[in-house]
Amino acid sequence: MQRLHLVFGGELVNPSQNVFKNVDDIHIVGIYPDYQKAYDAWKSEAQRTVDNAHMRYFIAHLHRLRDEETEASSTEELG
């Protein structure tokens, strides 16, 4: 199974909460084939924006969002 990871981030409304100030401005760094590459990209972006306390970057484990063995929902089938 391929374990894809998405690295993304943006400016938060409040540094103590994970609510983006403007969803349209979310920075998609990229999708990576393993956690180590995603972590390296995340770390690079986090360090680049360290002076802005409201900027946060995240790693989303895309492989956890979909289980190929589970039947798709009716909404997904419309796709």
pTM: 0.78
> What pLDDT was estimated at residue 64?
81
What string of H, E and C letters represents the secondary structure of 5-39? EEEEEEEECCCCCCCECCHHHCEEEEEECCHHHHH
In this prediction, residue 65 has a pLDDT band, given cuts at 50, 70 and 90, of confident
d(CA 4, CA 50): 26
Q: Is it the case that residue 20 has pLDDT exceeding 80?
A: yes
pLDDT digits (tens, 9 = 90+) for 35-56: 999 999 999 999 999 999 999 9
> What does the DSSP 8-state code read for residue 57?
E
Question: What is the arrangement of strands in the sheet containing 55-61, beginning at the earlier edge strand?
Answer: 27-32, 5-11, 55-61
